[in-house]
């Protein structure tokens, strides 16, 4: 099982797959440090900050690439 060192300062533990991987900041945390107050990433209940983060992430997605991947699927479905 692939794990990474915890991103929290001076922590010697390893990340926890599917729990310690933060999709917002890209860092990896152990089970203890994956939640607040240790992990200071944008909090889920901060709507404005989350919308701003989502906007940045969405801007990185190539809509043309998504369309080129989904269009053949749609054609297959409608046959």
CA distance 5 to 55: 29
Count the Cβ atoms, other than its own, within 10 Å of residue 16.
18
Supply the pTM of this predicted model. Answer: 0.49
pLDDT in tens, 36-71: 778 777 655 667 777 777 777 778 777 777 778 787
- Domain ranges (residues) in the chain: 1-41, 47-77
User: Residue 33 and residue 17: Cα distance in Å, rounded?
Assistant: 13
- What pLDDT shows up at residue 79? 62
């Amino acid at each position: 099982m692939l794990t990474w060192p915890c991103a929290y300062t001076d922590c010697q533990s390893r990340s926890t797959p599917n729990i310690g991987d933060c999709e917002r900041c890209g860092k990896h945390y152990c089970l203890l440090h994956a939640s607040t107050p240790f992990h200071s990433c944008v909090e889920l209940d901060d709507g404005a900050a989350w919308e701003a983060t989502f906007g940045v992430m969405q801007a990185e997605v190539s809509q043309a690439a998504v369309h080129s991947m989904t269009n053949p699927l749609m054609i297959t479905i409608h046959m």
